[in-house]
A and B are shown apart, each in its own frame.
Chain A
Amino acid sequence: MFVIFTDTDTDMTPENAERFGYHLISMPYSIDGKTIYPYEDFTEFKSKEFYDMLRAGTIPTTSAISKEKYTEYFEPYFKNGDEILYVHFSEAMTMTFTNMRAAVAELQEKYPAAKFHTIDTKGITIASLIIAEEIGDLYKAGKSAEEIIEWAKDQVDCFSIYMFADDLKFFKRSGRVSGFSAAMGTLIGVRPIIHINAEGKMVSIGKERGKKNALNRLLSYVVEKGDDVKNHRILIAHSDDEEDALALADMVREKFGDDVRIEIIVANPTAGSHCGPNCLGISFHSQRRV
């Protein structure tokens, strides 16, 4: 059988995963030494609670999952001789996939009949989810692993994300964005604009003063870089800033018409640990990322 996997760093929730037939790998974060696996250690993500905790000064860390844990996830399907496709978040942002590959190498040896493939979505949160959902569509439509991998080779770079951040403290701590001036700290009323490039890395590409200008800037990317936007989903993710997410959705509808398919999502806590609260991002089908 052909089975598909993705991970919670892509913002895939259990309900959404079920919709497409995804198996879900939980990517953990830690607070005060306690490691929490989303949707394994809790059933519902209480986003307000989580991001309020970050606002109050908690800075969670994230960690790679162990080889053993990957083995636990994959072994039943290897045993079964299944064909497995793992659609994962950006390899350029993590070390976790070293463990994944070690687990898979062992399983492959043990169960040579099974097949294993990966697709790197070269993103995180909705930058990955928009691709994972498209792949979910193809899977449900009965496409083979081979066909989906061919599709991804061409299409992964044709989805873009643009986002703004509120407080650089979190990004700086995680060291996962390049392009910030070294001395730049907490900005007040000024929002850095960030996107994920074709290498799957986050890059800072400027700043906007005031939320309104920042929202307009995000919209301008959809207009300028968008390609066949209306025939694909548009995903908006926020780290507990629903008001602005809804405002951006309205702006997109006004520009592109009411029939656009917009999904609004709360960024998962593991990714949220790196971006902090009050960030907002939009992903859409676009010209090829550079």
Chain B
Amino acid sequence: MDRIIDGALFENMVKGGAENLYVNKSIVNDLNVFPIPDGDTGDNMYMTIDSGASAPDDGKGDLGSVSARIAHGMLLGARGNSGVILSRIFAGIAAGLKDTENADIQTFGHALEKGSEEAYSAVSVPVEGTILTVFRDAVSYAGGRINGNSTLDSYFMDLMNELQRSLERTPELLDVLKEAGVVDSGGAGLVYIVEGMKNAIDGVEIKHGERPVQSAAKSVNVDTFTSDSVLEFGYCTEFLLRLQSSKINIDEFDIESFTELVRSMGDSVVSFLDGTIVKVHVHTMHPGEVLNECQKYGEFLTLKIENMMLQHNETVIENRFEFKKEQVRKKFGVVAVASGDGLVEMFRSLGADQVVDGGQSMNPASGDFIKAFEQINAETILVFPNNGNVILAAAQAAGMYDKADIRVIPTKTVGEGYSALSMLDTEGKTADEVQEEATEYAAGVVTGFVSKAGRTTEMDGVSIVAGDYIGFSDDVVYSDSPDKAKAAEILCDRLDAGSYDVILLLAGGGAAREETENLYAALRDKYRDSEIIMRDGGQPLHDFILVLE
């Protein structure tokens, strides 16, 4: 039984780790959680360890030199958050093995501890429940079990056991993992690496180097970031910077201040100094700013900038990892009915998980609701039908669905639905309480509509001319005018709009921008005590919707 690691074995172990990660990297990739950046943890970690495993041989075979060579290779190739942390782990290990010809288990265990410490120190704000935690737990557990009878095999068995246990605990430490029902991807990558290292100790043949190294170019779908997209996650920016003595006094360079500087321009910062090379990984909205600032210290050796929105939109969450947890159910989910781009967007931004297309012109069927329910994993799903003719279909769907408690809030208009949802607070409340509150909020709202009249007639004392615009609310007609804004103004008067706190004006697809703005100005002028808000609803049929609350 082996008790000693020498340079050749260590090199083989790293190659074995790379090999095993390569075989399993798609599993690791799939563990990524939106909106955690770095869409390709498996690829990134593989490229990192591979650049260590393939570092050119410098003819030195002692363990200290081999581990230093591997660590330096990883420094140059480190990609992504987990990759950079991985490279730091190996840098720490190399520091722990410095000047050794070979190492016994005790020495090797200490070196791994150094790897853990080094990894923590490289991360500006260490997050528990990540690769950091998984590695630290395993090293500490296995280290505590070293005794006179320990072999490399038993030590790595202990490492593996605790790595897996700690990995399974990561969702307990990190809510985003729990919500997505996955374990940490960087931690999982590490499990495969250590497993591969153990394979090498066990003498399993390693095929490293026989396959072409994957290029960094991935099939990026550029259509996922359009001219209307909002940059929400910024750029994953990574580079190696060689400090320049022409620019700064290198001896006085302080990596901590430098890191703080980088952190002031972004987050997820990992950075460290190796000789005169600084490695930086940062997520920033303004990569140019970061580069300009950092170039004041040196020149770039390598540079990589990726729009993280592209990475994200590619990521499909598929729970096929063997350690996966049951996906955590939310307490409340929301389905709302609306049509028109502006209204759909409005309900989404208010927290609707699913918006079912429909309304006055097209009533959704029960089946449409069931489809929406199936997309949501929640104990209770609140449904806002937002139309008198849709409530029944929603109620029917609720009766047919048994995988969640469906509560239909009988909102008859988008105004009621909007109002109930915007005031709703589900924190710490039961389904009954939430249903009651939502129903109450909806009841306090008056919704007025302006539409084109289809025929000439008389209703509710108003003479209606076909082609004119009529203003109505709750099936009562209040106004008729050839001018849609005028019809809206009269409608407001009749509904006593000035007595409400908020008047929300939703412009339909048929209302011209100028018409809407003029109406908005007129309402502001008239109802000075109310707060008047104009939004582009884009709804069909109704040129204007007025929500009075």
Contacts and interface: CB of A to CB of B under 8 A. Distances in A.
Contacts of B427: 179, 181
A188 B425 CA distance: 15
Given A181-B351, A190-B422, A206-B425, A211 B260 contact: no
A184 B350 contact: yes
Contacts of A207: 422-423, 425
Given A66-B257, A189-B502, A33 B292 contact: yes
A211 B531 CA distance: 7
A15 B350 CA distance: 43
A183 interface: yes
Contacts of A32: 286
A64 B531 contact: no
B504 interface: yes
B529 interface: yes
A99 B535 contact: no
Contact of A188 (B265, B288, B418, B530): B418
Nearest to B534: A188
A139 B263 CA distance: 36
B422 A63 contact: no
B431 to A, nearest CB: 16
A68 B292 CA distance: 19
A138 to B, nearest CB: 33
B101 interface: no
A104 to B, nearest CB: 14
Contacts, number: 85
B549 interface: yes
Given A33-B292, A99-B257, A189-B533, A209 B501 contact: yes
Contacts of B261: 66
A98 interface: yes
Interface in B512-538: 529-531, 533, 535
Nearest to B288: A33
B245 interface: no
B501 A64 contact: no
B229 to A, nearest CB: 13
B289 A33 contact: yes
A252 B286 CA distance: 43
Nearest to B264: A63
Nearest to A34: B289
Interface string A180-205: 01011111111000000000000000
Contacts of B535: 188
Contacts of A188: 346, 418, 422, 504, 533, 535
A65 to B, nearest CB: 8
A75 B348 CA distance: 53
Contact of A64 (B260, B285, B288, B423): B260
Contacts of B530: 210
Contacts of B285: 61
B26 interface: no
A63 B423 CA distance: 34
Interface string A51-80: 000000000011110111000000000000
B434 to A, nearest CB: 12
Given A181-B351, A185-B351, A188-B535, A210 B260 contact: no
Nearest to B257: A67
Centre residue among A64, A67, A190, A213 by max chain B CB count within 10 A: A190
A95 interface: yes
A229 interface: no
Contacts of B265: 30, 61, 63
A261 interface: no
Given A61-B265, A61-B285, A188-B418, A99 B549 contact: no
Interface string B484-527: 00000000000000001110100000000000000000000000
Contacts of A264: none
B124 to A, nearest CB: 8
Contacts of A211: 501, 531
B261 to A, nearest CB: 6
A102 interface: yes
A64 B256 contact: no
Contact of A185 (B289, B350, B502): B350
A212 interface: yes
A218 to B, nearest CB: 15
Nearest to B348: A185
Interface string A257-278: 0000000000000000000000
Contact of B289 (A30, A186, A210): A30
B537 to A, nearest CB: 11
Contacts of A67: 254, 257, 260
B256 A102 contact: yes
A63 B442 CA distance: 43
B426 interface: yes
Contact of A95 (B260, B286, B350): B260
Contacts of B502: 189, 209-210
Residue among B265, B288, B349, B533 with the highest chain A CB neighbour number at 10 A: B349
B264 A64 contact: yes
A209 B547 CA distance: 13
B426 A98 contact: no
A213 B500 CA distance: 11
A63 B533 CA distance: 34
Interface string A155-187: 000000000000000000000000101011111
Interface in B38-53: none
Interface in B257-298: 257, 260-261, 263-265, 285-286, 288-289, 292
A270 to B, nearest CB: 12
Nearest to A31: B286
A33 B501 CA distance: 40
A64 to B, nearest CB: 5
Nearest to B530: A210
Contacts of A186: 349
A181 B423 contact: no
B260 A212 contact: no
Interface string B214-248: 00000000000000000000000000000000000
29 contacts: A32-B286, A33-B292, A61-B286, A63-B265, A64-B260, A98-B260, A99-B257, A181-B425, A181-B427, A184-B350, A185-B348, A185-B350, A187-B422, A188-B346, A188-B418, A188-B422, A188-B504, A189-B422, A189-B501, A189-B504, A190-B423, A206-B425, A207-B422, A209-B419, A210-B530, A211-B501, A211-B531, A212-B501, A212-B531
Which 8 residue pairs are nearest across A and B when measured between Cβ atoms?
A: A210-B501, A63-B264, A185-B349, A183-B351, A33-B289, A189-B502, A190-B422, A210-B502
Interface of A: 30, 32-33, 61-64, 66-68, 95, 98-99, 102, 179, 181, 183-190, 206-207, 209-213
Given A61-B265, A213-B501, 5 more contacts: A62-B264, A189-B422, A189-B501, A189-B504, A189-B533
Interface of B: 254, 256-257, 260-261, 263-265, 285-286, 288-289, 292, 346, 348-351, 353, 418-419, 422-423, 425-427, 500-502, 504, 529-531, 533, 535, 549
